[in-house]
């Protein structure tokens, strides 16, 4: 709140003014070359890593600095989650951008095309960079309007994580890679025990992208599509869309086998306490699962024979602070995102490989031994066949779906009317060409 004594959290808002001003001051040109003295170029890298990831990136940068006296990298913290985009926009407006910044995939549409954001299309074409070694959906997420503005920094996907003990207690066989939605629903129902406040599944029902993307995976499994081929109309108000929405309704409202998380990540604590049997979640949660929980990982169930998953890759982006720094930034980034360097990073952190060839490194066996749960997630990268559209209207489509699905989950809205309403809002957003 304005000037209130409680302006405490990361208000994940930035400056509306930035929106315009950044565009206006974009041509302010290159920065003073004060950072360049005696042939040494100093660049800054902004990130939001904490804990093990922060330690790993700090160590890697130290290694680089020790062996590359001409390009010295300084790490800057971007404020974490909620602050990152805001800090970026402010930096653009004030002409104080870092040279390289970690940006969420969702920020791509907003940042792509700005004059300060370096178009990497030509740079990635260099054969030594091995651009096609990145998974194709990662490359899509780093591309906007046909131009490459990012290098994949992190990748994840959704898989089925389950508590073996709860399955054993219920006399259920563990999920398999040929599970159907019916198997999944039946298991969730069987795992639910109202008297012990135990649920079969958890769904993040805060109406945000967290709500939408799990539903998107279901839509794709049922053979549906989000938008029409030309991107002008919503395509999800379809038999496949209804099938996915109906499943949510049947499980959450009819079976009452779903714990509805409010978006604060409580589902994981409940999973740790043995109150939830199955989660659809990403590799990031594995390190938060307590050691006394015996869990398994399986690919998502299928509706029409496809076990589609969904991924939300994040990117490194390069900002223009003069030719010398841009060149130095690219040199460093090439090293940082190489299979070798990133392979070391994943070994230290348990993150997934961003390049296919990382799975062929010698260190990969060590990685799998250290993070056994990750094996399925790496495999599951192959089930990510579609990407969310990287357009400026996607957030509006996402919000329309998220909010309507929230209505379905709490039993307030019928599946078909939710779809109709969401599609109508999405059509409006897509038509306005945003």
SS3 104: coil
Nearer to another protein, 3 or 128 (CB): 3
Site for another protein in 199-228 (CB under 8 A): 205-208
Residues in the interface with another protein (CB under 8 A) total 91
Backbone angles phi and psi of 348, in degrees to 5: -80, -25
Site for another protein in 231-260 (CB under 8 A): 259-260
The distance of closest approach from Cβ of residue 59 to another protein in the complex, given in angstroms and rounded to an integer, is 14
Interface region with another protein, contact rule CB under 8 A, candidates 106-114, 227-235, 330-338, 382-390: 106-114
Nearer to another protein, 50 or 340 (CB): 50
Task: Spell out a b/e string for 2-40, using b for 16 or more CB atoms within 10 Å of the CB, else e.
Answer: eeeeeeeeeeeebeeebeebbeebbeeeebeeebbeeee
Strand segments (E) across 171-255: 199-204
The distance of closest approach from Cβ of residue 422 to another protein in the complex, given in angstroms and rounded to an integer, is 12
Q: Is 272 in the site for another protein (CB under 8 A)?
A: yes
Interface region with another protein, contact rule CB under 8 A, candidates 13-21, 185-193, 229-237, 243-251: 13-21
Taking the CA of residue 236 as centre, how many other CA atoms within 13 Å lie in the half-sphere pointing to its CB? 35
Q: Which of 57, 114, 234, 251 binds another protein (CB under 8 A)?
A: 114
Q: Return the number of other C-beta atoms located less than 10 Å from residue 417's C-beta.
A: 12
Residue 308: DSSP 8-state: -
Q: Which of 31, 68, 72, 76 binds another protein (CB under 8 A)?
A: 76
Q: Which of 136, 176, 264, 417 binds another protein (CB under 8 A)?
A: 264
Q: Which of 30, 33, 96, 340 binds another protein (CB under 8 A)?
A: 96
Q: Evaluate whether 47 touches 73 at the Cβ level (below 8 Å).
A: no
Give the rounded distance of the alpha carbon of 107 from its chain centre.
11
Q: What is the chain's length?
A: 434
Q: Which of 373, 403, 422, 423 binds another protein (CB under 8 A)?
A: 403
Tell which residue, 205, 213, 201, 203, has the closest CA to residue 162.
201
Nearer to another protein, 205 or 299 (CB): 205
Q: Is 90 in the site for another protein (CB under 8 A)?
A: yes
Q: Which of 136, 254, 340, 412 binds another protein (CB under 8 A)?
A: 412
The distance of closest approach from Cβ of residue 133 to another protein in the complex, given in angstroms and rounded to an integer, is 25
Nearer to another protein, 127 or 291 (CB): 291
256: left (phi over 0), alpha (psi -120 to 50) or beta: left
Q: Is 123 in the site for another protein (CB under 8 A)?
A: no
In whole angstroms, give the CA distance from residue 42 to residue 56.
21
Q: Is 12 in the site for another protein (CB under 8 A)?
A: yes
Q: Quote the tokens at residue 44.
A: 């800054």
Helix boundaries (H) for 309-414: 323-336, 339-349, 363-370, 374-380, 394-409
Q: Is 19 in the site for another protein (CB under 8 A)?
A: yes
Binding track over 181-200 against another protein, x by CB under 8 A: ----------------x---
Q: Quote the tokens at residue 252.
A: 């959450």
Nearer to another protein, 64 or 284 (CB): 284
Q: Which of 165, 189, 231, 284 binds another protein (CB under 8 A)?
A: 284
Nearer to another protein, 16 or 369 (CB): 16
Q: Is 10 in the site for another protein (CB under 8 A)?
A: yes
Q: Which of 103, 162, 189, 290 binds another protein (CB under 8 A)?
A: 290
The distance of closest approach from Cβ of residue 77 to another protein in the complex, given in angstroms and rounded to an integer, is 6
Q: Evaluate whether 36 touches 324 at the Cβ level (below 8 Å).
A: yes
Q: Is 43 in the site for another protein (CB under 8 A)?
A: no
Instruction: Tally DSSP H helices, then E strands, for the chain.
Output: 17, 13
Residue 357: DSSP 8-state: G
Q: Is 15 in the site for another protein (CB under 8 A)?
A: yes
The distance of closest approach from Cβ of residue 241 to another protein in the complex, given in angstroms and rounded to an integer, is 19
Task: Spell out a b/e string for 69-93, using b for 16 or more CB atoms within 10 Å of the CB, else e.
Answer: eebbbebeebbeeebbbbbbbbbbb
């Amino acid at each position: 709140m304005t000037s209130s004594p409680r302006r405490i959290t990361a208000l994940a808002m930035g400056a509306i003014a930035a929106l315009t001003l950044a565009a206006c001051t974009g041509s302010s040109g290159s920065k003073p070359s004060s950072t360049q003295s005696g042939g040494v170029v100093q660049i800054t890298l902004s990130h939001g890593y904490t804990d093990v990831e922060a330690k790993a990136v700090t160590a890697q940068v130290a290694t680089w600095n020790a062996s590359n006296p001409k390009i010295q990298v300084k790490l800057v913290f971007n404020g974490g989650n909620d602050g990152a985009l805001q800090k970026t926009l402010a930096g653009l407006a004030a002409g104080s951008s870092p040279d390289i910044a970690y940006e969420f995939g969702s920020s791509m549409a907003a940042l792509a095309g700005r004059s300060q954001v370096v178009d990497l299309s030509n740079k990635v074409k260099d054969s030594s960079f091995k651009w096609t070694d990145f998974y194709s959906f990662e490359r899509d997420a780093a591309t906007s309007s046909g131009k490459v503005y990012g290098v994949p920094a992190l990748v994840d996907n959704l898989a089925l994580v389950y508590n073996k003990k709860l399955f054993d207690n219920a006399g259920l066989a563990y999920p398999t890679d040929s599970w159907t939605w019916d198997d999944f629903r039946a298991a969730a129902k069987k795992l639910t025990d109202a008297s012990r406040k135990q649920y079969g599944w958890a769904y993040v029902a805060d109406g945000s992208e967290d709500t939408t993307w799990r539903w998107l995976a279901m839509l794709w499994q049922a053979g549906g599509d989000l938008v029409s081929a030309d991107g002008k109309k919503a395509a999800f108000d379809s038999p496949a869309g209804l099938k996915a929405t109906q499943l949510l309704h049947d499980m959450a409202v009819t079976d009452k086998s779903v714990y509805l998380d409010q978006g604060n990540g409580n589902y994981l604590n409940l999973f740790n306490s043995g109150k939830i049997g199955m989660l659809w979640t990403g590799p990031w949660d594995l390190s938060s699962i307590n050691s006394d929980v015996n869990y398994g990982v399986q690919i998502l169930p299928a509706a029409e024979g496809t076990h589609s998953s969904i991924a939300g890759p994040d990117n490194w982006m390069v900002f223009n602070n003069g030719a010398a720094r841009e060149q130095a930034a690219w040199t460093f980034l090439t090293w940082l995102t190489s299979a070798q360097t990133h392979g070391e990073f994943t070994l230290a952190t348990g993150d997934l490989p961003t390049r296919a060839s990382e799975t062929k490194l010698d260190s990969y066996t060590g990685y799998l031994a250290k993070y056994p749960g990750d094996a399925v997630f790496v495999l599951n990268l192959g089930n990510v066949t579609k990407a969310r559209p990287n357009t400026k209207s996607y957030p509006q489509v996402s919000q329309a779906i998220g909010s309507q699905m929230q209505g379905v989950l709490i039993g307030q809205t019928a599946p078909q009317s939710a779809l109709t309403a969401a599609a109508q809002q999405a059509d409006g957003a897509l038509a306005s060409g945003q």
